[in-house]
Amino acid sequence: MKKNTPLPPLGAAEQKQYTLAMRAENDRIFEATGKRRGAFIQTFGCQQNEADSEKFAGMCQEMGYAIVTEPADADFIVVNTCAIREHAEKRTLSIVGQYKHLKEKNPALVIAVCGCMMAQEHRQNDIKFRYPYVDFVMGPSSLHRLPQLLCQKLKTGKRIYCPEEAEYTVVEDLPIRRESSYRAWVSVMYGCNNFCSYCIVPYVRGRERSREKDKIVSEVRELVAAGYKDITLLGQNVNSYAKDRTEGYDFADLLAELDTIEGDFVLRFMTSHPKDASRKLIDVMATSRHIAHQFHLPMQSGSDAILSKMNRRYDTEKYLGIVDYMKEKMPDVTVTSDIIVGFPGETEEDFEGTMQMLSRVRFDMLYSFIYSPRKGTPAAEMEQVPKDVTAARFERLLALQKQIGQERNDALVGKTLRVLCDGVSKGNDALYSGRTEGNKIAFFEGDEEDVGKFVNITVERADAFALWGKKV
Ligand code: 5AD
Ligand code: SF4
């Protein structure tokens, strides 16, 4: 998608040099003014982006910035963008538009736009021509270059449009400033090779590359020792973990090894691709001590014709085979999925297929999306479904799932579940909220002592999206 000349790899020592140079400069300013320069990191999109932003924050902190929560307090703003649907891109551009005023007030402010949107040439051009006050842009594979690009910008004063990496690599040992002290993301691999016909991810995040198993195991070990209670392994398609490596282990082996770590913690992973979800993986989960009985398995459509046009490489029979095996081995498993409504060429019959699969599988929760054409992907060139037809189908899908979700949650009333408490509920400050092992939201009367800890609650009532209970 991008035609710029690729950058040569950046060595760890060189990287450190840029960080130290910025640190010296920021320390000097702190000594002179008594105030640390602030960095504001703004994140759009998926969990992978949240994990990447924790690295941006880690690098900023190492460079001597204080992490601030208001853009108006920042001397450096990093916007971490998402390209998955048009809505996300429009929102990002509108926010970047608002930063013009901040730059007018403080011309020394540096604004960087990073992440998936910026791995697309036409989006880099949007920034180039319509947002002239943005200082530099780079795609997600160049994240480790933040100190380098910042130094270069400050030195030359010139705007930078960072080209793609010459080689997609795994950069280890970047500093991470985690948002939570009890929930953590751990990336196990980056990129995607699947090229589902609607999806921009393989174009913007590059080819699959997996971290070494030992690196992941030590990271999880350290997190558990530091008191982390809920650890999610991340990858665009975790089931193909290590297929690009030669050691001969796979994702199930990684999980099995992580499960041997002693401590009171829950392990999860996302996202899985049905074409690669193995029985071995399900067996490891079912017999594990720490792995949550929760599976996010994006189905995308319940029509074999549409699945084929989507280039998903499984059919509904294969999908049901996995779900049935999962339910047999773990009767308490929570199954969630992603569905796209209005994929090009989706007929009424195709959509009915999706509705039937919902009734057959009975998902605990769905993330449903209206198809959004992505420039450069094959599906964007196919014949589109009219917007009103898609909107009507979307409503029907939500209504059916609401009913199923309600029934699934009603079945938990009277049961005692372990919940990791997140703090006072945002919607009702008389209650505390947390997540069950199945990752369902639960509300209960708690106290500050509970935050970041497991509490047991007996479920008293439920709606389609959450549970309410009493502490036991
Ligand atoms: N339009 C709508 N939804 C999409 N997704 C990915 N690409 C698109 C698109 N172009 C959805 C898929 C995926 C989830 C993360 O986002 O359902 O699983
Ligand atoms: Fe996109 Fe498909 Fe890769 Fe998921 S598996 S990131 S939907 S291309």
Q: Is the CB of 300 under 6 A from ligand 1?
A: yes
Give the atom of ligand 2 at the shortest distance from the alpha carbon of 236. 6
The stretches in the chain having pLDDT less than 50 are: 1-4
The full 3-state SS of the chain, as one line of letters, equals: CCCCCCECCCCHHHHHHHHHHHHHHHHHHHHHHCCCCEEEEEECCCHHHHHHHHHHHHHHHHCCCEECCCHHHCCEEEEEECCCCHHHHHHHHHHHHHHHHHHHHCCCCEEEEEEHHHHCHHHHHHHHHHCCCCCEEECHHHHHHHHHHHHHHHHHCCCEECCCECCCCCCCCCCCCCCCCCEEEEECEECCCCCCCCCCHHHHHCCCEECCHHHHHHHHHHHHHCCCCEEEEECCCHHHCCCCCCCCCCHHHHHHHHHCCCCCCEEEEECCCCCCCCHHHHHHHHCCCCECCEEECCCECCCHHHHHHCCCCCCHHHHHHHHHHHHHHCCCCEEEEEEEECCCCCCHHHHHHHHHHHHHHCCCEEEEEECCCCCCCHHHHCCCCCHHHHHHHHHHHHHHHHHHHHHHHHCCCCCEEEEEEEEECCCCCCCEEEEECCCCEEEECCCHHHCCCEEEEEEEEECCCEEEEEEC
- The reported pLDDT for the residue numbered 369 is 98
Determine the distance separating the centroid of ligand 1 and the alpha carbon of 194, expressed in angstroms.
13
Give the atom of ligand 1 at the shortest distance from the alpha carbon of 300. 17
- The reported pLDDT for the residue numbered 13 is 75
Residues in contact with ligand 2 by the CB-under-6-Å rule are: 192, 194-196, 199, 201-202, 236-237, 273
Among the bound ligands, name the one nearest to the CA of residue 274. Answer: 2
- The reported pLDDT for the residue numbered 12 is 66
- The reported pLDDT for the residue numbered 5 is 57
Determine the distance separating the centroid of ligand 2 and the alpha carbon of 150, expressed in angstroms.
31
- The reported pLDDT for the residue numbered 9 is 66
Nearest CA to ligand 1 atom 14: 338
